[in-house]
Amino acid sequence: MKPTAILLLHCPDRQGIISEITKFITDNHGNIVYLDQYVDRVDGVFFMRIEWELDGFLIPRDKIKDIIDTLYGVRFGVESNLYFNDEKPRMALFVSKMSHCLYDLLARYKAGELDVEIPCIVSNHEDLRYVAEQFGIPYYVWSIKKDHSNKAEVEAAEMELLRKENVTFIVLARYMQIISEDMIRSYPNKIINIHHSFLPAFIGAKPYHQAYERGVKIIGATSHYVTTELDAGPIIEQDVVRITHKDTPDSLVLKGRDLEKIVLSRAVSKHVERKILTFKNKTIIFS
Amino acid sequence: MKPTAILLLHCPDRQGIISEITKFITDNHGNIVYLDQYVDRVDGVFFMRIEWELDGFLIPRDKIKDIIDTLYGVRFGVESNLYFNDEKPRMALFVSKMSHCLYDLLARYKAGELDVEIPCIVSNHEDLRYVAEQFGIPYYVWSIKKDHSNKAEVEAAEMELLRKENVTFIVLARYMQIISEDMIRSYPNKIINIHHSFLPAFIGAKPYHQAYERGVKIIGATSHYVTTELDAGPIIEQDVVRITHKDTPDSLVLKGRDLEKIVLSRAVSKHVERKILTFKNKTIIFS
Amino acid sequence: MKPTAILLLHCPDRQGIISEITKFITDNHGNIVYLDQYVDRVDGVFFMRIEWELDGFLIPRDKIKDIIDTLYGVRFGVESNLYFNDEKPRMALFVSKMSHCLYDLLARYKAGELDVEIPCIVSNHEDLRYVAEQFGIPYYVWSIKKDHSNKAEVEAAEMELLRKENVTFIVLARYMQIISEDMIRSYPNKIINIHHSFLPAFIGAKPYHQAYERGVKIIGATSHYVTTELDAGPIIEQDVVRITHKDTPDSLVLKGRDLEKIVLSRAVSKHVERKILTFKNKTIIFS
Amino acid sequence: MKPTAILLLHCPDRQGIISEITKFITDNHGNIVYLDQYVDRVDGVFFMRIEWELDGFLIPRDKIKDIIDTLYGVRFGVESNLYFNDEKPRMALFVSKMSHCLYDLLARYKAGELDVEIPCIVSNHEDLRYVAEQFGIPYYVWSIKKDHSNKAEVEAAEMELLRKENVTFIVLARYMQIISEDMIRSYPNKIINIHHSFLPAFIGAKPYHQAYERGVKIIGATSHYVTTELDAGPIIEQDVVRITHKDTPDSLVLKGRDLEKIVLSRAVSKHVERKILTFKNKTIIFS
C-alpha cells in the first residue's frame, strides 16, 4: 500500500470547488485514488473526501494542511481534516462486563481487518482482564464508586493514560458508565458508543426491557458519536432484527448482542478509514 | 374451501389445556386443520388459535361459543373469540389525501388477496373519490372544520354509517384525523392504523421530518391497533428501510410510502385471517 | 422545476476528467445541480452522472451531445447519453394475468411518483383490460398461440405500436412470454423485467416452487434489463423476505408479490430518473 | 435449570396425536415447559418438539425413548429423537486459515451463550493454533496433501479422534476441504457447514467472485447440514446484506465475513438447543 493523504472537507456549496481542488492536487503531481463528494441541497453545503498518493507529490506532508487552509479557507470557507493512511489511528477500548463487542473488535484487529493500534483497554471492572490477556493488550481498571465520589479522579487518571498513549479515538464497547463532559470535549466526535436500541427509541437504561414492554416487532442497535446529551450524538450506523411475541427480554438481549457487535464494528471501520464527516449533529458516511 | 370455525383463546397456563380442547373438538367430529399455540412464560398465559371443519361437526354453529365458554370459561379462565371462515369481515377504509395505501388495499381486494367486503370508504376530503369510483365503492365525505367544532357531529354520522353497513373493522389508510375516544371504544382492537415511523420513535406529526432532523440511518413504519393513547396501541407489524445522508425529507416520504403500504396490508391480512390476539397492549400473531 | 440536461457517461479512468467536464459546463454558464461519479478500479473505468440547468446555458440543446462527443469522445474515450428532464420517458407496460405489478405502477403514476407517459398497455390476454380501463390507458391484446406459430406476427404488430407511440422503454410487469431477440436488440437496456426469484438462484419457470423444494429460508425478487440470455441481463435491483418451513408454495407466491412490485417499481424509478448506467452486464446505480 | 427431556418427533398427520402425547407426559407427572408443533399439509406430516421436567417424572430416563417408540412407533408411525438438557452436545470445530467464525463461536462459548463442550479443534493448517491456545482448546493438525493422496488416512485419524472425544456434532467453520462420504454418513445431519453465498446461487468455489461477476445487489450466506451432494444439504439458516456497484470482490469478502459468522452461529445455536428437525432435505426450525 502506497502512502496517501486523505482530505475530508466541507464548505458552502458553489460552482467549481471540485475542479479547483482536483486541479490543485493534479497540478502538484498527486495521483487521486479516491474521490467522493456530496452536496446537501437543503443546507447548501458541499462535502468531499479525496485521497491521493504522496509519492511524487510536490508539497511536503507537513505543509499540505496549511496550504489547503490558506488557499481555500477564506476563499471558499473550507473546513478540513487531513490524515495519512500510514499513520494508524490509536484506539482505546472502554469495557465493562460484557465481552461480545470486545471479542469482536479484537478478533477483527487480530485478523488484520482493522487498521489501528490498540494501546490499552480500560474498565471499571476486572471481569474482562482475561480477554485482554488472551490478546496481549494492557488492561487498566479504575473502579468507580457507586456514589460516583471518585469519578473525577478516575477520569483524570484515564485522561492521563490516553494522553500518554497518544490515543486518537475511544470506543465504548458496552461500557456502562456515563462519560463526563470534560472527557467528551477533549475527544469531540472521537468517542464512539454502541447503544442497544434503535435510537431515538428507548433512550437510556434497559432498552431491551423497554422494547419487550412496548411489544415492538423489530429491535435495533445504534452506534453514534458521544456528545454531552445522552444517546443524542450523531448516528453513524444502525441495524435491526425482527422479533416476535415469542421473544422474552432474555432472548432480546441475546439477539441484540449480534446487532451490537456488527453495528459497532461497522462504525469503527468507517471511522478508522476516515470516511465519516459530522455536520449539524449528523454524519456523512462516504462509500 | 370448506366452512370452518376459528377459535382464538387465552387463559392462565396450566397442564392439559391443549388436550382438553383438541379432544373436545375431535370427540365432536371436528376435523382440526390448524392449531398454533404459545405460552407466555413471563406472564403465565396460554394462547391458542385452532380451526376445524364444520361439516359433520356435532355442535351447531350458534351454540359453539356458548358451550366453549360454559365448559372452559370458569374452569380454565378461558376468554375466547369465535369466527367462521365463511363470514367475511366488513372493512371500512378511512382516507385523507394520499392514495398509496388505499390503492394497495383495493388492488389486493380486487385480486382476491383480501377476503373481506368493503362497503364504504370514508374521508374528510374529496381528493380520493376518483379512486373509490375506479373500484366502484361508495365514498362518503364529511369535512371536519379546522376548529374541530363539528367533529362530534361528523363522527356521529360516521358511526351511523358503520352500524348501517355492519362494519366489523376500520382501517385508517393514512387518515390524518385523530379518532375520538367514543369511536375507539366502540371498535376495541378493531381499528388498524399505519404510523409512518418506527414506533415508539417519532410519535406524532411529521415523523419523516423528525427522522431527517435526527439523522437516523434507517426509517420504519408501524401498523397498530388504535387505543385512546396516541400511537401507543398494540403493534401488529413493523418494517424498515435503510437510508443515507443523501436522503432528503422528500425522498424519505417516498421511501416511506412503500413501507407504509406493505406494513399496513400485512397487518390487515393478519386481522382478516383472524390470526391476531391482543393481550396487555401487545399482539400475539399466529403463523 | 427548471429544465435541465442530464449527462451519463463512462470512459477509461484518468486524472482530470471531472475537472474538465465540470469546467466545460460552468464555463458555458450551466449551473450544476447534481454530480455523482464512480471509478471502477478493477476495470479502470470512470462513470459520471451530471445534471445542470439549461436556463442561460450557452450551448443550444440540440448541439450539446454533439459537442461533448466531439470534445471528449476521442480525447478521453467518453461514451455518453444525454437526456432532458422535461422530455418524459414513454413507458409501455407488458402484462399477462397478474395485476399486482400493474396496479402498483399505475397507482404511482397516478399519484405523480413516476415522471413518465404511458401510451399503452400490451398483453396476450384480456384479463387485465379492466385495470387499463380504470386508469384510462389504451389496452392492446395480441394472443400468442400455444405453439408460438404466430409469435413473429404478434411481435411485428407490437413493434409497430411501440414505434407509433414513440415508446422509449418497456416494462415487463409479470409478462409471462419470452421476448424475441429482435425486439430485445431494438430496445437495448430499455426492457425492464421482474423475475420472481433472487437471481441467479432459480432461473426459469416456477421459481417459488423451486424455492419451496430447496427449502430456502429467504426468497427474493430481481429486476433486470432483458438481454438475449434468459434471466441473465444486468441486475438493477433485488430484495428479499424471510420465510420459514411453515410457508407453502402458495404463501410464497403471496409474499413474493409484495417483493416483485416493490423491486420492479424501484428499478423503473431509477430508469426514469436516468440514474442507471450499464457496463459489462452490470449496472451502476447513481444515488 | 432443572433437568428436562426434549423429544423431537414426526409422523403421518392424524387427529389426536398432540392429545395422546401430552396426556402421556402429564399422566406420568411430567411438567411440560415447551411445546411447539407444525403440520406440513402438503406432505401430510406432523412435527413436534416437546420438553418436560424430569423431576418427579414416573418413567426413568433410560426407558423413556423405548416406551415412546413402543407406544407410538407402530401405532402412529412416530420417528423420534430424545435428548436431555443436562447432556451437553460435544462439538468439534474444523477450521482452515480464516479466524472469524472460529473466534465468534469461541467468544460465545466463553460468554456462556453456547451450551456445549468443545473437546477439539481440527485443521489442515497450523495457522489458527494461536486462537485455540488463547482459549485453551486442544488443536490437531493433519495436513492433507495437494494430490489428496493421504486424505483417507487423515480422515481415519480424525474419525478416531472424534470417537475418542465422544463428539456429537461437527461444525465446519470455514473449513475448506470436502468431507468424504464415509464421514458424512457417520454424522448424518450432524455436520454443519457455512457456505459463503445465498444458496442455491453460487455453489462451489469463490462465491463472492461469482457474485461480483454477476453484478448482484445483495449477497448472502447459508448454513446447512452436510450431505453427500456438494452445498445441497438441508438449509438451516440464511441471511443477506445489500451491496452496490461500488463493492469489489475484496469488500464482498469483508462484508460476507460478518454474515458468515452470524449465520453459522445461529445455526449452531438452534442445533445445540435441539430445535431442528430434518425431513426430505429440509429443516423444521422450532421457535
Model pLDDT for residues C147-202, shown as the tens digit of each residue? 989 999 999 999 999 999 999 999 999 998 899 999 999 999 999 999 999 999 99
CB contacts of B41 in chain D (<8 Å) are 33
Contact B282 A245 (CB under 8 A): yes
Out of B27, B62, B182, B231, pick the active-site residue.
B231
Which of B217, B234, B248 is closest, CB to CB, to A237? B217
Nearest CA in chain A to C287: A38
Neighbours of chain D (3+ CB pairs under 8 A): A, B, C
Which of A19, A33, A39 is closest, CB to CB, to C19? A19
CB contacts of D108 in chain A (<8 Å) are 100
Which of B16, B26, B39 is closest, CB to CB, to D16? B26
Contact C19 A15 (CB under 8 A): no
CB contacts of B245 in chain A (<8 Å) are 38, 40, 282-285
Which of B107, B265, B287 is closest, CB to CB, to C246? B287
Contact C104, C265 (CB under 8 A): yes
Q: What angle do CA B264, B267, B268 make, to 5 degrees?
A: 85
Question: What is the per-residue pLDDT for D14?
Answer: 84
Reported as a pLDDT band with limits 50, 70 and 90, residue A211 is very high
Please give, rounded to a whole number of angstroms, the shortest distance from the CA of A18 to a CA of chain C: 7
Contact A246 B220 (CB under 8 A): no
Reported as a pLDDT band with limits 50, 70 and 90, residue C250 is very high
* Percent of chain B residues topping a pLDDT of 90: 88
Task: Map A217-264 to HEC letters.
Answer: CEEEEEEEECCCCCCCCCEEEEEEEECCCCCCHHHHHHHHHHHHHHHH
First CA to last CA across chain C, in angstroms?
19
Please give, rounded to a whole number of angstroms, the shortest distance from the CA of C200 to a CA of chain D: 6
Asked if residue D41 has pLDDT above 90, the reply is no
CB contacts of A248 in chain B (<8 Å) are 41-42
Which of C38, C218, C235 is closest, CB to CB, to D246? C38
Contact A244 D287 (CB under 8 A): yes
* Percent of chain A residues topping a pLDDT of 90: 88
Contact A248 B285 (CB under 8 A): no
A86 burial (CB, 10 Å; 0-12 / 13-18 / 19+) is exposed
Asked if residue D244 has pLDDT above 80, the reply is yes
Please state, rounded to an integer, the average pLDDT across all residues of chain A: 95
Least confident of A27-31, C100-104, C135-139: A27-31
- Please name the residues in contact with C145: beta carbons below 8 A apart, sequence gap of 6 or more: C151
Contact C45, C94 (CB under 8 A): no
pLDDT 10s digits, B195-248: 999 999 999 889 999 999 999 999 999 999 999 998 999 999 999 999 999 999
Please give, rounded to a whole number of angstroms, the shortest distance from the CA of D146 to a CA of chain B: 45
- Please name the residues in contact with B177: beta carbons below 8 A apart, sequence gap of 6 or more: B94, B96, B124, B144
* Percent of chain C residues topping a pLDDT of 70: 100
Helix, coil or strand: residue D283: strand
- Please name the residues in contact with C144: beta carbons below 8 A apart, sequence gap of 6 or more: C124, C150, C151, C154, C177
Nearest CA in chain C to B108: C100
Please state, rounded to an integer, the average pLDDT across all residues of chain B: 95
Whether the link from the prior residue into C200 is cis, omega within 30° of 0, is: yes
CB contacts of A218 in chain B (<8 Å) are 198, 220, 238-240
Closest CA to C4 of C77, C85, C63: C85
Question: What is the per-residue pLDDT for C16?
Answer: 78
Reported as a pLDDT band with limits 50, 70 and 90, residue B111 is very high
CB contacts of B98 in chain C (<8 Å) are 111
pLDDT 10s digits, C94-112: 999 999 999 999 999 999 9
pLDDT 10s digits, A84-114: 999 999 999 999 999 999 999 999 999 999 9
Contact D18 B18 (CB under 8 A): yes
What ipTM was estimated for this complex?
Answer: 0.94
Contact C39, C13 (CB under 8 A): yes
pLDDT 10s digits, B46-99: 999 999 999 999 999 999 999 999 999 989 999 999 999 999 999 999 999 999
Nearest CA in chain A to B248: A42
Out of D55, D62, D69, D231, pick the active-site residue.
D231
Give the H or E element holding residue C11: strand C4-12
Query: B144-150: long-range contacts at Cβ-Cβ below 8 A with a sequence spacing of 24 or more?
Result: B144/B177
Mean pLDDT for D168-185 is 94
CB contacts of D31 in chain B (<8 Å) are 15
Contact B282 A199 (CB under 8 A): no
Asked if residue A14 has pLDDT above 90, the reply is no
Asked if residue A83 has pLDDT above 80, the reply is yes
Reported as a pLDDT band with limits 50, 70 and 90, residue B260 is very high
Question: Rounded to the nearest 5°, which phi and psi values hold at A28?
Answer: -95, 20
Q: Left (φ > 0), alpha (ψ -120 to 50) or beta: where does D78 sit?
A: beta
Question: What is the per-residue pLDDT for A157?
Answer: 96
Question: What is the per-residue pLDDT for A41?
Answer: 86
Mean pLDDT for B29-35 is 90
Asked if residue B276 has pLDDT above 80, the reply is yes
Question: What is the per-residue pLDDT for C176?
Answer: 86
Please state, rounded to an integer, the average pLDDT across all residues of chain D: 95
Catalytic residue flag (residue A147): no
pLDDT 10s digits, C38-49: 999 889 999 999
* Coarse DSSP helix, strand, coil percentages of chain D, rounded to the nearest 5 percent: 35, 30, 40
Asked if residue B41 has pLDDT above 90, the reply is no
Question: Rounded to the nearest 5°, which phi and psi values hold at B35?
Answer: -150, 125
Asked if residue A15 has pLDDT above 80, the reply is no
Neighbours of chain C (3+ CB pairs under 8 A): A, B, D
Closest CA to B112 of D205, D215, C127, D240: C127
Question: What is the per-residue pLDDT for C1?
Answer: 79
Question: What is the per-residue pLDDT for B29?
Answer: 93
Out of C27, C115, C231, C247, pick the active-site residue.
C231
User: What does each C-alpha distance from B225 to A276, B122, B202, B230 come to in angstroms?
Assistant: 40, 18, 17, 11
pLDDT 10s digits, A157-193: 999 999 999 999 999 999 988 999 999 999 999 999 9
Contact C39 A35 (CB under 8 A): yes
Asked if residue C15 has pLDDT above 80, the reply is no
Q: What pTM did the predictor assign? A: 0.95
Asked if residue D15 has pLDDT above 80, the reply is no
pLDDT 10s digits, C73-91: 989 999 999 999 999 999 9
